Structure 1
């Protein structure tokens, strides 16, 4: 059996927002596939079928993952930083490439992941490993109404949103490029806090500042997601109560607060990218125990 995930980036010591930056531009956008009929299937077939099944679908803009680069931040070469390479894509293209029954036809044979996935939408998802004050880990069970991984266990998460920082499309005449880049970099971290608050009901004030622990990619449909770690100063029983009051019932149906052993037992029901997130968390734990 093929591995369920691939780790594209592992940061076992955890990187704060001061050590994570972005490069953003159309050079990291998806490249159209040369097969016109395959390209046409994205909107004319796959998206239209989805719309008929669910007329409330919304074609929102997403950040596209186009790779990353590591660089040293000081003369001593002890501290490294990560630059995430981001373009733009949208939900319709995601449904028509990554979630298409024809997804494998969009891949290009290459050892370079950015070439391998160049025709894919590949919106950068996010996920958070959140530890409660009594050292339990928060896991959600996805509802059966969602388009991806219905009924599976997942970590809280979703996507950072371009519209949160005022981006709807690439602007050639952007006046304040460094300000834009800083807003996008911050959205990587603010976005995951927002997702955790919305999906679990815990207040943002109860969470520590997230640290980036890596990026994993699901082998099936090559879906990438950035994973973060944070602690919550509320215990698991109070978190469960908050979830019951805040929960809107659409994306998830139940919250579990589990031990590491219980999480390992549940891991077969995690989608590949979240299984990769769990692997990144274990690498972080091992690094902190051995340091």
Structure 2
């Protein structure tokens, strides 16, 4: 059986806070937990409507899937936080983490937002998919470390990937 590839974004605000959402208690996965914005790419976005084995243009399909991974994470951030796509940098893939319970993989991305945390909090009130979460937090790296025990496994892995990226950039 195949697993869908999830996605998550570590988004830094212009005032160097990190966006974290608290999941609603009414969702099926990780209710009440802290998570990074994300979800999963949609196969129909690349023209896949069912299992197909007659694809002639494999290279074209591969390119569309790759593009959807990067476009999809931007879409998820916009839908879940309310920030405009134009305020986000291009996403940088920082790695893949797996969930502990069902071992589904999730690709984690890093991006910056040119809006400060107080303005993002206001935008969140109008987020399209705001029902999936009950609150948006803009936290310091220290506060995120303190919250990390309430991150589901794959998001904890995403946080570890983010810290590895930060440490590597500080070392160079």
Q: What TM-score, normalized to structure 2?
A: 0.96
**Structure 1 residue 122: Cα displacement:** 2.1
Q: Shift of residue 181 of structure 1?
A: 1.2
Return the offset for 1:248.
4.7
Per the TM alignment, residue 179 of structure 1 is displaced from its structure 2 partner at its CA by 1.3
Q: Pairwise CA RMSD of aligned residues?
A: 1.2
Structure 1: 4+ residue segments shifted above 3 A: none
After TM superposition, the structure 1 stretch with the greater mean CA deviation from structure 2, 155-164 or 212-221, is: 212-221
Figure out how many residues of one structure are paired with residues of the other and give that number. Answer: 172
User: CA offsets per residue over residues 153-189 of structure 1, 9 Å max, x none?
Assistant: 0000000111111102233322322211111110010
Q: Is the 8 A contact 2:82 2:127 kept in 1?
A: yes
TM-score (norm 1): 0.57
Decide which structure has the larger Cα Rg and report it. 1
1:126 counterpart = 2:10: no
> Quick one: higher RCO (CA 8 Å, sep 6+), 1 or 2?
2
Q: Distance in 1 between matches of 2:121 and 2:145?
A: 20
Q: Note if contact 1:146-1:250 (Cα within 8 Å) is conserved in structure 2.
A: no
- CA distance change for structure 1 residues 133 and 252 in 2, over 3 Å: closer, same or farther? same
| CA-to-aligned-CA distance 1:230-272 (integer Å, 9 cap, x gap) | 0000000000000012255421110000000000000000000
- Tell me the distance in 2 between the aligned counterparts of 1:248 and 1:186: 22
1:150/1:131 CA distance change after superposition, 3 Å: same
**Cα pair 1:143 1:249 within 8 Å, conserved:** no
C-alpha distance in structure 2 between counterparts of 1:267 and 1:173, whole Å? 45
Residue 126 to residue 241, structure 1, CA distance change in 2 (3 Å): same
Q: Which position in structure 1 is the counterpart of 2:146?
A: 265
Contact 2:80–2:130 (CA under 8 A) maintained in structure 1: no
Structure 2, unaligned runs of 5 or more: none
Checking the alignment, whether the CA contact within 8 Å between 2:8 and 2:38 is kept in structure 1 is: yes
Helix, strand or coil for the counterpart of 1:129? Answer: strand
Alignment match, 1:143: 24
- Is the contact made by 2:78 and 2:127 (CA closer than 8 Å) also made in structure 1? no
Q: Hey, which of these two has a bigger chunk of strand by percent?
A: 1
From the superposition, tell whether residues 145 and 121 of structure 1 become closer, same or farther in structure 2 (CA, over 3 Å): farther
